[in-house]
Amino acid sequence: MELGLAGKRAIVCASSKGLGRACATALAREGCEVVINGRDAATLDATARAIADATGAKIIPVVADVGAEAGRAALLAACPAPDILVNNNGGPPARDFRELSHADMIAGVEANMLTPIALIRSVIDGMAERGFGRVINITSGSVKAPLPNLDLSSGARAGLTAFVAGVARQVAARNVTINSILPGAFRTERLATIAQAAARKSGKSVEEIEAARIVTIPARRLGDPDEFGELCAFLASAHAGYITGQNFLIDGGAFPGAF
């Protein structure tokens, strides 16, 4: 399917690896010029070269912490008028909520709610004026089905979900959409880190922790980040203009709900 994205400009936050990288790759494959972002220069540069070599697209790496005002300014300096914004940021580490300090909670809300809102505010009016815009927030399946010890991540991302639900309706008439993708268990570095922490706490092996998780997934496997990236590209496409304010759960059927 031709997605109508050739020549579009995209910013993909936290995209040196994992789901962010998969989204950047999928958009580049469709002909987008993509600004990618990460905090480690070596990793980011390697990712930029790999995506450019694989797709032939123009990839602009921006080393920055998207959670800091200066980092967001650097992204917007590299792409002042994006057609597509993919919000993504690392979540807080898994911890019992009793162990969270006030500062921990503020940091979680800043990273997973306020940072994406700040970026949306910076680009949304320009998108509306140009008559095309796609904002895609990478949140988490835990927004619908909270996971133990990820309460802060779940809460902050749920806050973002509720906040943008109203904003999406304000700009829909200008061909600007805002949607969220809620990943379940994907084979990423973050999932590996969570599994390692669970293994240390339980005394089980990482393989045992992973196997126990897979049993809970009807698809009986972990997700491939490339699958996630393709969904992101479709939601960014010219064919998705009538889809807005929605939350797309992609979890292999793990959430046991009809709606």
Kindly report the CATH number assigned to the domain that includes residue 141. 3.40.50.720
Angle, CA 67 vertex, CA 251 and CA 91 arms, to 5°:
30
Indicate the residue type of 116: P
125 and 240 together in one domain: yes
The reply to whether 4 falls in a domain is no
**Weakest-pLDDT range from 72-86, 125-139, 148-162:** 148-162
Residue at 258 is within a domain: no
* pLDDT bracket for residue 147 (50, 70, 90): confident
Residues 157 and 58 in one domain: yes
- The amino acid present at 43, given as its one-letter code, is T
| Predicted local confidence at residue 198, as pLDDT | 84
146 part of a folded domain: yes
Same domain, 173 and 105: yes
Predicted confidence (pLDDT) per residue in 202-213, tens digit: 899 989 989 999
Residues 37 and 22 in one domain: yes
From 246, 247, 81, 83, select the one nearest 175 (Cα to Cα). 83
Residue 5 has pLDDT above 90, yes or no: yes
- Number of structural domains the chain divides into: 2
pLDDT for 201: 84
| pLDDT at 1 (0 to 100) | 84
3-state secondary structure of 233: helix
pLDDT at 190 (0 to 100):
81
Q: Do 110 and 229 lie in a common domain?
A: yes
Under 8 Å between Cβ of 136 and 86 = yes
Above pLDDT 70, what percent of the chain? 100
d(CA 23, CA 13): 10
Q: How far apart are CA 62 and CA 149, in angstroms?
A: 32
pLDDT at residue 149 is higher than 90:
no
- Looking at the predicted structure, is the pLDDT value of residue 12 above 90? yes
Residue 104 counted as domain residue: yes
The answer on 58 and 147 residing in a single domain is yes
Residues 37 and 95 in one domain: yes
Structure confidence by residue, pLDDT tens digits, 76-96: 999 999 999 999 998 888 788
Instruction: Determine the Cα–Cα distance for residues 40 and 14; give it in Å rounded to an integer.
Output: 10
Pair (82, 96) in one structural domain: yes
State which amino acid sits at residue 103: A
Q: Is residue 76 in a domain? A: yes
Using CA atoms, how far apart are residues 150 and 155, in angstroms rounded to an integer? 9
Task: Give me the residues paired with residue 38 across strands.
Answer: 63
Which of the two residues, 151 and 190, has the higher pLDDT score? Answer: 151
Expressed as residue numbers, the domain containing 168 is: 9-184+224-250
Instruction: Tell whether 2 is covered by a domain.
Output: no
Instruction: Please check whether residue 1 lies inside any domain of the structure.
Output: no
60 with 78: CB under 8 angstroms? Answer: yes
Domain membership of residue 73 (yes or no) is: yes
Of the chain, the percentage scoring pLDDT greater than 90 comes to 85
Q: Mean pLDDT across the stretch 172-177?
A: 98
On whether both 241 and 217 belong to a single domain, the answer is no
User: Which SS3 state, helix, strand or coil, does residue 164 take?
Assistant: helix
The DSSP letter of residue 135 is E
Distance CA 109, CA 57 (A): 34
Same domain, 25 and 49: yes
Q: At what angle do helices 115-130 and 151-171 cross, to 10 degrees?
A: 20
15 and 72 fall within a common domain:
yes
What does DSSP assign to residue 111? Answer: I
On whether both 39 and 49 belong to a single domain, the answer is yes
Please tell me which of 51-65, 85-99, 178-192 the model is most confident about, judged by mean pLDDT.
51-65
Say what the pLDDT of residue 177 is.
Answer: 98
Instruction: Tell me what the mean pLDDT of segment 126-141 comes to.
Output: 97
